[in-house]
Structure 1
Amino acid sequence: MAQDDTTTQDQAAGSYESYDDAGSVTGPGTGMDGSIPSVPDLPPMSGDKQKIANAVQDSLYDVVDPELGINVVDLGLVYDIWVDEDGNVVVYMTLTSPACPLTDMLEDQSTDAVVGRGIADNMRIEWVWTPPWGPHMITEEGREQLRALGFAV
């Protein structure tokens, strides 16, 4: 993303906010052109990189959405995982709501789960909003966990 004076970006988190001419935030993760970030078309990874991506996904089962008490993988919040040639990890992830106040907490938990365990030296989350999250994205395991907590799913 090209950086200019109308965009702020949290480099560690990979998230950004854009501002219109009046100085109003156009939304978290909204591009300068008004586009809504989605998972880019990524080329296939080598076998070694795929093993790292699988280990990252496994570690993200320990990252729990604090509002629902279910891990982010079973909630369907993790859309894709990419490992570049240098071993840097990008997790393409969404939230149940773009207004979720717990973004920083989920980023910290995710980084601890991946970098803290030595799976990768660098990891960032790219927040994406397309496709929008919906309950249909919850895995069957996630549904069982929600039912155990008293949710009708």
Structure 2
Amino acid sequence: MDDAAPVDAPSPDVGVSAPLSQGELDTLTDKLIEQLKTVYDPEIPVDIYELGLIYKVDVSDERAVAIDMTLTAPGCPVAGDMPGWVQDAVLTIPEVTACEVNLVFDPPWDPSLMSDEAKLELNMF
């Protein structure tokens, strides 16, 4: 008798990630925030996370990250560079498999989106 598996037998899931547990997601979220805080708008001495430039971060079960972000102004001189800086920072996290950064302008950024920490740093209280 032949011990070979039938032709239509399902193959093992090679390379398929298990869904993220809440603990894994929490840990990855902390790492994402830490990395986002390493990116600064060159004209403002506050990181983009505290400035409120990050609108949305989605993490898939495959650990791919999709980020919607904005700029302080559409004509920002680093508009073409900043999404790449964000992507590079996020991709330093070993668990992250991919990162896509989308630049959006709706809603438009305004100073009310800044954290209290950013407002304090910029003397805006």
Per the TM superposition, whether the score is higher than 0.5 is yes
Q: CA RMSD in A?
A: 2.0
What TM-score do you get using the length of structure 2 for normalisation? 0.72
What amino acid maps onto 1:64 in structure 2?
Answer: Y
Structure 2 equivalent of residue 75 of structure 1: 51
1 CA distance for matches of 2:114 and 2:90? Answer: 22
Larger relative strand fraction: 1
What amino acid maps onto 2:80 in structure 1?
Answer: D
Larger relative helix fraction: 2
**Residues 56 and 119 in structure 1, CA contact (< 8 A), matched pair in contact too:** no
**Bigger Cα Rg:** 2
What TM-score do you get using the length of structure 1 for normalisation? 0.60
Structure 1 unpaired stretches of 5+: 1-44
1 CA distance for matches of 2:85 and 2:40? Answer: 8
2 CA distance for matches of 1:145 and 1:103? Answer: 23
Q: Write out aligned runs for 1:22-61 (5 A).
A: 47=22, 48-61=24-37
2 CA distance for matches of 1:49 and 1:104? Answer: 30
1 CA distance for matches of 2:95 and 2:56? Answer: 16
Which runs of structure 1 show a deviation greater than 6 angstroms over 4 or more consecutive aligned residues?
A: none
Structure 2 unpaired stretches of 5+: 1-19
1 CA distance for matches of 2:94 and 2:81? Answer: 20
